[in-house]
Amino acid sequence: MRVWAVMAMASITVLPTKEPGAGFWAASVRNGYEPELLWTMASQAIARAFALTPAETRDFLDGAGGRALADDIDFIVGGAIDAEDIEALIEARLRHLGWRRLYAQMIDEVRERHHIPRPM
């Protein structure tokens, strides 16, 4: 059973970071990844996994959630090749109650900033 949402759209708009010195972007650079490529893959994966808007996706990645995700990518055997690799990592993390709560909390914080009610 999948515990994450599926986006109904064929393509996902990827917005650039507003915080290159923080969050996912900074952690990607610190970890030795190519931030532009990884940002695009992570944006697609997060948007699909949690049904986020482009602005919500960017805000998630620019915050603590993005930093945690960038650090977690080191656990992908062979590295992240495409967005599906990152989605698989997220899905695996969501099977663990602690990670599921952490992601839910971070997504709720992003949605609150955008004034979007939490799904039931």
Average pLDDT along the chain, 120 residues, taken 10 residues at a time: 38 94 96 92 90 94 93 86 88 85 89 71
Please give the pLDDT value at position 3: 33
Please give the pLDDT value at position 10: 52
Please give the pLDDT value at position 120: 55
Please give the pLDDT value at position 97: 82
Please give the pLDDT value at position 116: 61
How far is it, in rounded angstroms, from Cα 10 to Cα 113? 26
Please give the pLDDT value at position 2: 31
Give how far Cα 81 sits from Cα of 73, 74, 87, Å. 11, 12, 11
Please give the pLDDT value at position 91: 86
Q: Where are the domains of the chain?
A: 23-113
Angle, vertex CA 37, rays to CA 35 and CA 43, nearest 5: 90
Nearest to 61 by CA among 34, 93, 26: 26
Please give the pLDDT value at position 118: 57
